[in-house]
Structure 1
Amino acid sequence: MSYDESQPAPRRRFGLNPLTLTVATLVPAAVVGVLVWQGLGGSGDDGGNAAAATASASPTGRSGTLLGDGVPGDAEPGGSGPASPGATDPAKGPLAGKVVVIDPGHNTRNHLHTAEINKQVQIGPTSKECDTTGTATNAGYAEAAFTLDVSHRLRDLLKKEGATVTLTQDDDRPFGPCVDERARIGNRAKADAVVSVHADGSAVGNRGFHVILPGLVKGGGADTTPIVGPSRDLGEHIAGRFAAVTGSAPSNYIGDGTGLDVRKDLGGLNLSTVPKVFVECGNMRDPKDAALLTSADWRQKAARGLAEGISGFLAP
């Protein structure tokens, strides 16, 4: 219950007992006043002041508490708690004013909509299927679940740095979106950077991460000329920080040890008008890489490596 301190405190109301009434009829008015005061134990003003003190001590808003991880919490849902000591105001962070679009690869329900995701869409001079189901570890951990988890972690890190962050999908649609729509989402947002999060499904023994960069593609509504250079810059920043933070080596089967690969057959890159890369964080079909990809601690490192690479590109 909230208290409005601008209103006067209510006076306490007391009833008169029979003894008081009897005395009042037998003694002068002055004596009556004394007896009534004694019978009631004090003046109404004291009670009113006590009520006012109670109202003053009561909160006029919700008070927050610091949770175990230092995040402000509230006694009631929706309340606003105090800022964590030393917390940085995102509006003043190094990425304030920057727009980042994160594209979690595939969709956890794509396998239920094979007809829809197999539909061909234009990706420039050629066409390709709308989307795919993605790969999985031998134990069944789906790439789509991995990409969404890392994307959530990455989003949170970037927002703390002040960036405006949009996801192309947040497990909030039955399938997709199709690869051409994923590109349009980044374009419409006028993103300063777009990162599509993936994991590979290659042979056992093939290990490590690689970053896919757009090649030069023209035709069919595609023209990557303006983004080839900036996208390579973004990819190099991400590759460097991803290796440093996760401890993972660049791919031993793609990119000749550079961790970089150029492709012209991915609609998400071909149709982009803003700097964009794909990141294959590891090989889900290799047991050693799979052990990393299924570790929550490692996924947090992966998200941090991506975030630091993006930040280095946007705020050098």
Structure 2
Amino acid sequence: MLDPGHQRRGNNEPEPVGPDTRETKAKVSSGTTGVSTKKPEYVLNLEVSLLLRDELQRRGFEVAMTRETHDVDLSNKQRAEMSNEAGAALTVRIHADGDGSASTRGFSVLYPSPSVAATKPIAAESKEAASFMLAGLQAATGQKGRGLSAREDLSGFNWSKVPVVLAEIGFMTNPEEDKRMSEADYQQQLVQGMADGIERFLAGK
């Protein structure tokens, strides 16, 4: 299951961050915007996700997507539930990052923290998938990136019953990286790296 992050319009209605907490977050935020390209994050996320879908299908994988258009209203909990219902072998959430500093750059791969009761059953497999994806991205782009990060606060992780990772493919607040993420050659490198990592993970299942 590929989940292109965000959508044309955010939805600030609250929903629980997970099944065993009273904490709430907005159902889905509006995401960031490219400082150079002026492209909204939801557009970039879908561009890359569609390329990744095509590459995975070319390699023989069955791929479902949470969205193929910008005009949806899907909360992060609903996206996780779509993966659960599909019985996905792996959910890959595609996002781009933003930061207060224009110099911050680099991709990273997030996975659910084992310290959250709801995600404990999927944490180890998710981390393994994240490690393979990071290695794939590093090999395909020739960049080190920012590494792996375990997260407790993401609704899309905490409602998931299947292994899940989130790729932050770079910073739209970095002028150079923002432009690069919209270049066809670089998008292909990102897709190649992620697909290699996904294939490696699924080969072991």
TM-score per shorter chain, which class?
Answer: over 0.9
> Aligned residue for 1:177?
74
In the aligned structure 2, how far is the partner of 1:283 from the partner of 1:249?
14
Match of 2:5 among 81, 102, 105: 105
- Which of the residues 291, 296, 302 maps onto 2:184? 296
Q: What CA distance in whole angstroms lies between the structure 2 residues aligned with 1:248 and 1:170?
A: 29
Question: For 1:202-248, what per-residue CA distance to the aligned partner results, in whole angstroms no more than 9, with x for missing partners?
Answer: 12111111111101323xxxx11110000000000000001110223
- Residues 166-215 of structure 1 show CA distances to partners (whole Å, capped at 9, x for unaligned) of 0001116x343100001001101111111000000112111111111101
> AA paired with 2:122?
I
Q: TM-score, normalised by structure 1?
A: 0.61
CA distance, structure 2, for counterparts of residue 147 and residue 300 of structure 1:
13
Of residues 90, 104, 115 in structure 2, which corresponds to 1:206? 104
Whole-Å separation in 1 of the counterparts to 2:200 and 2:91 = 14
Q: Using the alignment, how far apart are the partners of 2:59 and 2:184 within structure 1?
A: 22
Work out whether 1:232 is the aligned partner of 2:127: yes
Name the SS for the 1:167 alignment partner.
Answer: coil
Measure the CA separation in 2 of the matches of 1:130 and 1:205: 30
Shift of 1:288: 2.1
User: Aligned-pair distance for 1:291?
Assistant: 2.4
Superposition map of 1:87-166 within 5 A: 101-107=1-7, 109-110=8-9, 114=10, 117-124=11-18, 125=21, 126-139=23-36, 140-166=38-64
What is the RMSD computed on CA atoms of the aligned residues?
Answer: 1.2
Distance of 2:57 and 2:145 partners within structure 1: 27
Q: Letter of the aligned partner of 1:145 in structure 2?
A: V
How far apart in 2 are the matches of 1:303 and 1:170? Answer: 17
Contact persistence 1:200–1:284 (CA under 8 A): yes
Mark the structure with the bigger radius of gyration.
1
Identity of aligned residues (%): 35
Q: Is the 8 A contact 1:130 1:176 kept in 2?
A: no
Structure with larger RCO (C-alpha < 8 A, sep 6+)? 2
Q: Which residue of 2 aligns with 1:40?
A: none
Q: Distance in 2 between matches of 1:136 and 1:167?
A: 22
Which amino acid in structure 1 is aligned with residue 85 of structure 2?
R
One-letter code aligned to 1:217: V
Tell me the SS of whatever aligns to 2:63. Answer: strand
DSSP-derived class of the 2:149 partner:
strand
- Point out 4+ residue stretches in structure 1 off by more than 3 angstroms: none
Name stretches of at least 5 consecutive residues in structure 1 with no aligned partner: 1-100, 252-258
Report the 3-state secondary structure (helix = DSSP H, G, I; strand = E; otherwise coil) of the residue aligned with 1:181.
helix
For residues 252-271 of structure 1, the aligned pairs below 5 Å read 259-271=147-159
Structure 2 residue ranges without an equivalent (≥5): none
Q: How many residues align?
A: 198
Q: Which amino acid aligns with 1:236?
A: S
* 1:13 aligned partner: none
